[in-house]
Amino acid sequence: MSEKTVIVVFPTIFSLNKIDYLISNISKILKMKNQSYDRIQQNESVIIIDTKDPVFASSIIGTLYGIEKIAIATEIVNDFDTVLSNIAKIGQNLLLRGEKFLVRVEGQTIKYLPKDLELAATSSLIEKTSHLQTKPGSETNYDKILYTYLTKSHAYICIFIDKGNGGIPYNSHNEKILCCVHDEFSAISCLQIIKMGFEPKILVCYRSGPDLLNIVKMINQILSHIIQDKVELQFCKLSLKSSGSSSFLLKIASITEILTVIATRTKIERISVAISSMIFPAWFIEYNAKVVLKKKLVPWFPLLGVDNSIFENASEFGLEKYMPRIQNLCKLRFRDDNIQKDKIHKISQTAMKTRKTIIVKIGTNNVHDIIDSLKSNH
């Protein structure tokens, strides 16, 4: 078999029993982006994609969940001498003068051990790159890693490798969850819902024009992870002007009530509540759970026990510029206070009167398309 450059997708451990969903998502997103491919197939525990533009296609596939890592690799038959010579050849092309390298071989094979190939390839590279003054590094100290993955039939020598988004494949539960995006924290919560394998039905709650624009920009980040050509978005305007911790609790409690009304009307059984026990008091989390359960709906708390990883998640989801606002949220002090149910009911009723629904075709101008659709939907 001749050498071929392919994309290698390594599913997360939690996706190994959902590989069919991941293959389907890869196929769908490539078609959505008008990227043709010759084959998508499973080779043991990895997925191989043969496409004319592996660089662009890998960047598209990299937005999906359920992936531990993604690589552009040379695919060859799994023969010890053939793989060894190709690792040495690719290493010579990739290594620069004075760099430390690490050869890593994983996977399984029948006729030899991956460790034997690892040692042989390291020795070969030392010899063939001596004029570049390269030298082998260690597990914790290297400039470039030369990674090879073995299956029983093929070897994949990676030219480029990148970290995936983790999680499990989009909509692998075949269940919908209604979630609201109203600030940075709730945007991360919505993305976490996608990462957990659900299909989000999105409500946007905003207080003003500038607030709406800011939230729509966050929605744009979320849309890149949804495997659909068109997405339905709902909007409600909140009549809340004051700030502070008490007002913030009032806002979230009102949104929870709005979500229960919409979920009941649209027959969605699950509601995502974007609050965490690391930030909000226990009584407030329990209050929101009871509100949802009272309507015979199921509450989900995607960020319930999140800690400092929230900042890693913000960066991972492309929301790193909003981290200072999340930090400010963490500084709020909440006191035990009775929930003003009459006020919550009034806010939610008023907001429901402003409810609008639009259909957005996911593309490159999502922000402008959403704003324009709202203006024309007065």
The model's pLDDT over 299-353, given as tens digits with 9 standing for 90+, comes to 999 988 666 655 666 666 566 666 667 667 667 777 766 678 899 999 999 999 9
Of residues 327 and 281, which shows the higher confidence score?
281
Residue percentage of the chain with pLDDT more than 90: 79
pLDDT in tens, 204-227: 999 999 999 999 999 998 999 999
- Mean pLDDT is lowest, of 121-135, 273-287, 288-302, for 273-287
pLDDT attached to residue 376: 78
For residue 339, what pLDDT is reported?
Answer: 79
Residue 280: the pLDDT is: 86
State yes or no: pLDDT of 16 exceeds 90.
Answer: yes
Residue 86 DSSP class: H
pLDDT number for residue 51: 96
pLDDT of 1 strictly over 80: no
- First-last CA distance in the chain: 61
Label residue 272 by pLDDT band (50, 70, 90).
Answer: very high
Residue 184 or 114, more confident: 114
pLDDT, tens digit, for every residue of 80-130?
999 999 999 999 999 999 999 999 999 989 899 999 999 999 999 999 999
Average pLDDT over residues 48-65: 96
Residue closest to 160 by CA, chosen among 61, 78, 247: 61
Percent of the chain with pLDDT over 70: 91
Specify the amino acid at residue 195.
Answer: K
**Domain 4-166 is in which class?**
alpha beta
- CATH top-level class for 176-375? alpha beta
Helix H or strand E encompassing 283: helix 282-294
Helix and strand numbers, DSSP H then E, in the chain: 12, 14
DSSP 8-state assignment for residue 251: H
Bridge partner list, 359 = 232
**CATH 3.40.50.620 residue ranges in the chain?**
176-375
pLDDT band at 255 (very low <50, low <70, confident <90, very high): very high
Query: For residue 48, is pLDDT > 90?
Result: yes
Residues of the chain with CATH 3.30.2130.30: 4-166
Residue 18, phi then psi, degrees to nearest 5:
-130, 25
Q: b or e along 130-159 (b: 16 or more beta carbons within 10 Å of the residue's beta carbon)?
A: eeeebeebeeeebebebbbbbbeebbbbbb
